Structure 1
């Protein structure tokens, strides 16, 4: 994760060992290469086997979410995907997220408090402070708690939980095998990347997310296993669910120079919105901290808001991938887009602030896409802007995530891979970089790092080279 706007403290150069001159240092490195390469091959093979298993877990997680949704909203047993928006519970729908919140709160109190939140910050903290060691119980606690939270109407995505689950499994394997802390971190990132790739069929974005949020390095010793894990996870997804984009849409035309400039300006705006969304989430979290009751009850309180909003705007319930498809397909009008963006933001921010279990990618893409589509419709009435509302929706998706998480490459490539729109890549990149720039100027931490920064954890913001003698198996 690179952030030139907030560089870390200057680091003194690491000198050569006193007993080694440069020539001897080079000989030392050459003598280590065969062993290093053998370990890299072994780590890669382990990462690929791990990825195949994580992809199966990801498939099972989506089926478990569907099962909970059917039971909670429709009173039947099925694992076919269904939107809770089509329920016929009437006003009783308000109680369903509350019950889910009670169950998640109980699991957090008597299982592990680490299941609270969206998963990525918790994985980052273990990488930075605990040599990538995650308790084994997180392998089942996180997906089950998330399936309950999402299946009972929680406005989250499945990506955060499966990233956390894959990372926990990779960490567990790294604790069983005789590996170094760096190799354990690589296995953690490989599991996380495989999970994201298996959910969204976005292998390259999964690798970039691992670099920007988990590895904090860009070297062959970690990139090779993580990349192969992401490829393996995607291949398993294709075998189980078939190829094709997760969010299909009609082909877009290339953006003109004028339109590209407008999309870049939209990126600047979404950078500001991303900062506002981040502060809103943590402001709500601070409010929950002031409640004079145990934190295990907070998800149930957040569930009240989810239920009320879901009763008024049913499309906010659950993952809502169908909302994203409708937004980028241009199927929603001004009123529907505005209502979806506002209601989803209210429901998701309160639920996340309450400390329940769920992801952030899908909600941010829904909110950003709806706002981008809304602005795109307005701009489309100005012929000079040459804006396509569907392209503006894609820009909003990527730029809001880039502004909130400051993962600009992940954001741009993720939206490209999940829609398979090659002509959108340039506007996505320009808007994501613009949002990243504004976000870096306006806030120090991100929606991913604020929580652990408050606990005194320093998150690296630059990928810097190390001296060869200190690179291990680079």
Structure 2
């Protein structure tokens, strides 16, 4: 078959047909198996006595079915419809071939043992499970897999009732609430095929006498409308009681009795069999009783007994968690109720046959229980093909729905989900599913490290040693031509003269900026890759990793971030402006009064050395549901902080601008300020540890590191030296009083632009030293060879590092005649452990280092080096991230 023939839409049609066929076969198997095993039960009852056989078979069958469910698939207990609904709403409930097989086997045993349940609910779960199992064999997106599961559920219900339209409507009305064309197409086709297969192979719906109901034995006239309104009222009230009875029984069994599933089902089966054995023989066969009622052959007393026994026994066996549906019992109870109302109408008016009322009662009671009026009307119409019942059905169903909605606001399936603890999560996922609302463009990294295709592999190895990524896209003229990973380099690196194009993976898997995070995560998982390039056509516009998705979801759940577009801008409530005399700006967010003075002095020193202005920001955070523009706040504490900045600016003779903002998210307000005020450096305090797994520095700081379009300086442990305010000589005429005293500096040099930026920051920070001692060190693994020898000019740091080192060295020696600069290599298998040991053993005041360049996976394995150093060192830590 040519590959061009298998288009996505054609593949969807093929999949829908396959789903319909296997769902139809499963429904036929369930019907034939139940009928074959059930016939033995009836024959044994006639020969050995119903009082012995019915309770015995009910108890043994219940225990066996319960054992199957408990041992092999606990997800198959009950009707199965709530489980499918939960799966379609994103709750991780298993749907696979195992679930389908166990559901078929356990339901067959349960129904054959005489439980007054139906097989249509289980066929919904069986069809959905088979569709989910099929989707695992065919590459598809999570969204489309969800739609295949919906198609399987529709096909299962259609095959059970021989009602393809009702199958689709029930799935749309109750399970999905989704009318997209991609959902309806496969669902309609799968339902049609499932119903055809079931009918051709003998799966006759709910066994109504279609020939008889097609005769003119049903009728409707206007004078009967009050009786159908009365029927709808009764069905609504009794349907609500039925729902409460099932829920109350499940709660009592689970929370009071604490029986295992086999025990509960065995006792329920025994009790059901004992009660039925005391009734006339026609009640031993649920199918025959149903036919008798809807064809008008039953008496009023028979209908009344059928109503009460099925009402109570269904509650009894459903409370045990038995696998079996509530569709058929609802229809039988409704048919009996409608038949009694019809007989009453005959005696009162003598207008119509009770058959019409029996058929209308089926739909009205089913509607009251499931809260699906459209599906209820359609099911009864499809299994009868009688237009005379449509208007009575609609009248009764609408009234029943309104009454039931007034008494219980949710359908029975929603309440069962609530009992299982899924309510809150399913609602959140159905309305605010982050993975389906956010797109790749919302979380992707726009600044992408790339490789040219003609670069030699020795140069690539050097780049990988400094990169935090384990794989880099290969680009020619701005277009993506391949991807190269560290694994590719390690496995296929045979000669230094080889080029990237010789070993890269051409035509890599990509996503577009509009793909949802759910689709991206599915591709990452299915193809076992850690990153995906984001392209528009062939142009590379970004890259997205699993860590980006995890971070976005964690931020969403923790209320740290909101979906872009739904987050209101921060609101500026106070500001001061000074003359714009600087060549740049440094921003200092102020929150903690204990660290504000130290941060401001450090920022002032950097601003004066670089001729920058100082921008000070205080953010008042409010709950996410409040509007920043409409929320009243107290700004006096914030004014005290920013006024402190103005006073320090006057001493240092630099321009200071201040502002106070109200915001739902602190990081968002900082990013807004950076963009509005054209900030060059962001200096922020950092508490020195992380609280969320998968974070580098914490929620807000990680966002700023990733998104801030400027250099970022993180300062941790400002008062680790606990000194009083000191007066420092700076080499000029002025002396400054500052809470900072940093004489001993440890500067680990690890390579990359961040280490270079840290070195370049030293001249300004030496303001806080009277007699500075600076030790530059490089950690090396003894197993890998000798370390860096600063006296060996043939083997210095990388070229850009060496330049920065020499420049810094000259600056230090000119700064003070008493300054000392030393450089040494230190053995150690762990950079963080080695730095912590040096800093603590030698009483350093500050550790100054560049931000880690490792990828997220290496961070997870080796640990976040700056965070580990800040947590382990008994001194101040300064971490610098250079803006790319």
- TM-score class, shorter-chain normalisation, is 0.7 to 0.9
- In the alignment, the residues of structure 2 paired with residue 381 and residue 327 of structure 1 have an alpha-carbon distance, to the nearest angstrom, of 18
Counterpart position of 2:500: none
User: Alpha-carbon deviation of 1:471?
Assistant: 11
Q: Is the 8 A contact 1:263 1:427 kept in 2?
A: yes
Indicate which of 178, 181, 199 corresponds to 1:217: 178
How much has 1:150 moved relative to structure 2? 0.4
In structure 2, relative to structure 1, the CA distance for the partners of 1:388 and 1:305 (3 Å cut) is same
The answer to whether the aligner puts 1:297 opposite 2:257 as a matched pair is: no
Distance of aligned partners of 1:266 and 1:363 in 2 relative to their CA distance in 1, 3 Å threshold: same
Tell me, in whole angstroms, the C-alpha distance in 1 between the residues paired with 2:408 and 2:140.
37
1:398 aligns with 2:363: yes
SS at match of 1:141: helix
Deviation per residue, 1:24-44 (Å, 9 max, x gap): xxxxxxxxxxx9x94333222
Name the structure 2 match of 1:160. 121
Q: Does the 8 A contact of 1:267 with 1:395 survive in 2?
A: no
Show CA shifts across 1:302-360 (max 9, x none): 11221112202244446x23222211211111111111111111221100111111111
Candidates 411, 425, 430, aligned match of 2:376: 411
1:69 is aligned, of 34, 38, 41, to 38
Question: In the alignment, what sits opposite 1:337?
Answer: 303
> Once the two structures are superposed, what CA deviation does each residue of 1:265-317 show, in whole Å capped at 9, x if it has no partner?
31122111110100011111222121143343111111122111220224444
Task: Tell me if 1:271 matches 2:236.
Answer: yes
TM-score (norm 2): 0.45
Mapped pair 1:369 → 2:335: yes
Counterpart in 1 of 2:289?
323
Q: Does 1:359 align with 2:325?
A: yes
Structure 2 residue aligned with 1:451: 416
Question: The residue matched to 1:122 in structure 2 has which SS?
Answer: helix
Name the counterpart of 2:598: none
Aligned residues: 423
- Contact preservation (8 Å) 2:219, 2:352: no
Distance verdict in 2 for CA 1:40–1:419, change over 3 Å:
same
Q: What does residue 434 of structure 1 align with?
A: 399
Instruction: Identify the residue that residue 49 of structure 2 maps to in structure 1.
Output: 89
d(CA) in 2 for partners of 1:244 and 1:118? 17
Structure 1 vs Structure 2 CA RMSD: 2.7
Deviations 1:221-278 (A, max 9, x none): 1111100111111222232239899412243444112213421331122111110100
Which structure shows the bigger proportion of residues in strand conformation?
2
- Alignment correspondent of 2:62: 101
Say which is worse superposed, 203-212 or 450-459, in terms of deviation.
450-459
Find the counterpart in structure 2 of residue 150 from structure 1.
111
Partner of 1:139: 100
Partner of 1:23: none
SS state at 2:150 partner: helix
Distance 2:25 2:356 in 1: 33
How much has 1:442 moved relative to structure 2?
1.0
Q: Give the whole-Å Cα distance in 2 for the aligned partners of 1:211 and 1:43.
A: 18
The answer to which structure has the higher helix fraction is 1
Corresponding residue for 1:13?
A: none
Unpaired runs of 5+ in structure 2?
440-513, 517-884
Query: Does the 8 Å contact 1:309/1:316 carry over to 2?
Result: no
Q: Distance in 2 between matches of 1:146 and 1:434?
A: 33
Cα separation, 2, equivalents of 1:174 and 1:87: 48
Q: CA deviation at 1:66?
A: 2.0
Larger radius of gyration: 2
1:51 alignment partner, one of 17, 20, 43:
20
Is contact 2:88–2:150 with CA below 8 Å preserved after alignment?
no
Change (3 A) 1:327 1:63: same
- TM-score scaled by structure 1? 0.83
Q: Which runs of 5+ in 1 are unaligned?
A: 1-34, 76-83
Q: Deviations over 1:54-75 (max 9, x none)?
A: 2112111112112322344436
- Which whole-Å CA distance do the structure 1 matches of 2:41 and 2:351 have between them? 46
Rounded to whole Å, the distance in 2 between the matches of 1:359 and 1:244 is: 14
Between 47-56 and 290-299, the greater mean CA deviation after superposition = 290-299
Residue-by-residue CA offset, 1:388-424 (whole Å, 9 max, x unaligned)? 3111111211011100110111111101111121111
Q: Could you tell me which residue of structure 2 aligns to residue 179 of structure 1? A: 140
Contact 2:206 2:328 in 1 (8 A): no
Query: Is the deviation greater in 283-292 or in 406-415?
Result: 283-292
**Aligned counterparts of 1:420 and 1:116: Cα–Cα separation in 2:** 33
Q: Matched residues in 2 for 1:180 and 1:63: separation? A: 36
Against the structure 1 CA distance between its residues 306 and 122, is the aligned structure 2 distance closer, same or farther, given a 3 Å change threshold? same
Residues 407-449 of structure 1: CA deviation (Å, up to 9, x unaligned): 1111111011111211111111121111111111111222221
Matching residue of 2:154: 193
Q: Distance in 2 between matches of 1:449 and 1:87?
A: 44
Bigger RCO (CA 8 Å, 6+ sep): 1
Change (3 A) 1:293 1:255: closer
State whether residues 334 and 358 of structure 2, in contact with CA within 8 Å, keep that contact through their aligned partners in structure 1: yes
Q: Is the 8 A contact 1:245 1:417 kept in 2?
A: no
